[in-house]
Structure 1
Amino acid sequence: MTFEKEYLRVVKERFRSTKNQGEKAIHQLSEDDIHWVLNDASNSVAVIVKHLSGNMVSRWTDFLTTDGEKISRNRDHEFQNTISSKQELMEIWEKGWKVLFKEMDELRGTDLMKTIYIRGEGHTALDAIERQMAHYASHIGQIVYIGKQLKGENWKSLSIPKGKSEEFLQQMLKKHQ
């Protein structure tokens, strides 16, 4: 397997893992929770999801051939809370990820060093992929943080629960012996 093929396999898995973490967080939230904001400078989970999806559709549609900031995108509108339900939120969520994974599945190792554009600025496809991974992971982190704050003791940990690190380590070592 070439380095490029392995990179594409790994980065697709990272995107899937990031998506999965976001979904596990969102599923713990109520209809009211998805609209909660701390203050006017904050975004609700609904707004974050709307922004993520808008970004994904813009960046990943025709990833190699058109500027990642599509003329049809209304980024400012993404920050208006117009999502009416958790079901609608999940439909918007899936729309963005579907576009991303479709385009990722079509990428080949030889595409990684091609120049793509975002707002007229050239990037290697590899750099643009990494840029998007970091962007999405930071927003998923916001969703998780909001969820933890709202759910408190009722939050189901998405990783190793506090105080359980040694137990988890021993389980992993036993599993891989």
Structure 2
Amino acid sequence: MDASYLPSAIKQFEYYKLLGDKTFAQLNRDQFFWKQNKEDSSIAIIVKHISGNMRSRWTCFLTEDGEKEWRNRDDEFINSFTSQEEVIACWEMGWQCLFNALNTITKENSDTIVYIRNQGHSITEAINRQLCHYSYHVGQIVFLGKLSAGDDWKSLSVAKGNSKEYNAEKFSKEKSRKHFTDDL
């Protein structure tokens, strides 16, 4: 594993967590549980799924299969939360599990093959798999948050119509080598 990869991946995970956090800060209780129809997933349900996946994938990930026997994936799509505080606590628990696991990766164990449903992955492949999975679901959370907040939504990116100003500000600075999330 290239020495720059893991710190970069951790920053990417932190970025997607931040997008979720900033979405949650704009929502009320009803918006956490809103579904367009009965077959849809609410933000709360998506959080329950992401957290369940994180806890399964990253608990003892170097020595145990990432699909734990104790995980009940189907249950992740049934709401069991009663408050937005419970949703956020579940969200935090999943992310903490992920970050704790990533912090155990060393040069000595970076060549370990890890398994998800008996399929072997390099640690880099496992990280990439989960980074894509979580960013997909965080995008859903942001989109649902934006839909439910309506006109009260505050953009989490460059707001429409502000690209020229944003780029002018970026190009007014000297070139530098840093992660794009360092300015957030």
- Scaled by the length of structure 2, the TM-score of the pair is 0.91
Q: Secondary structure at the match of 1:123?
A: strand
CA distance in 2: counterparts of 1:174 and 1:45, whole angstroms: 38
CA distance in 2: counterparts of 1:112 and 1:27, whole angstroms: 36
1:20 corresponding residue in structure 2: 18
1:70 corresponding residue in structure 2: 68
* Alignment pair present for 1:140 and 2:142: no
Retained in 1: the 8 A contact 2:48–2:90? yes
Retained in 2: the 8 A contact 1:35–1:46? yes
Which amino acid in structure 2 is aligned with residue 106 of structure 1? T
- Runs (4+) of structure 1 exceeding 3 A deviation are 109-113
Q: Secondary structure at the match of 1:106?
A: coil
Retained in 2: the 8 A contact 1:21–1:140? yes
2:163 corresponding residue in structure 1: 165
RMSD between superposed Cα atoms in Å: 1.3
1:38 corresponding residue in structure 2: 36
Listed as ranges, the matches of 1:1-177 within 5 Å are 4-176=2-174
How many angstroms does 1:83 deviate by?
A: 0.9
Q: Secondary structure at the match of 1:5?
A: coil
- Scaled by the length of structure 1, the TM-score of the pair is 0.94
**Which has the larger share of helix?**
1
2:180 corresponding residue in structure 1: none
How many angstroms does 1:81 deviate by?
A: 0.8
- In structure 1, list runs of 5 or more residues that go unmatched: none
Q: Secondary structure at the match of 2:80?
A: coil
Which amino acid in structure 2 is aligned with residue 159 of structure 1? S
Which amino acid in structure 2 is aligned with residue 12 of structure 1? I
How many angstroms does 1:41 deviate by?
A: 2.8
Deviation track 1:41-65 (CA, whole Å, cap 9, x = no partner) reads: 3100000001110000000001111
How many angstroms does 1:109 deviate by?
A: 3.7
Deviation track 1:117-150 (CA, whole Å, cap 9, x = no partner) reads: 1111111111110000000000000000001111
Which amino acid in structure 2 is aligned with residue 173 of structure 1? F
Retained in 2: the 8 A contact 1:113–1:126? no
Q: Percent identity?
A: 43
How many angstroms does 1:152 deviate by?
A: 1.6
Which amino acid in structure 1 is aligned with residue 72 of structure 2? N
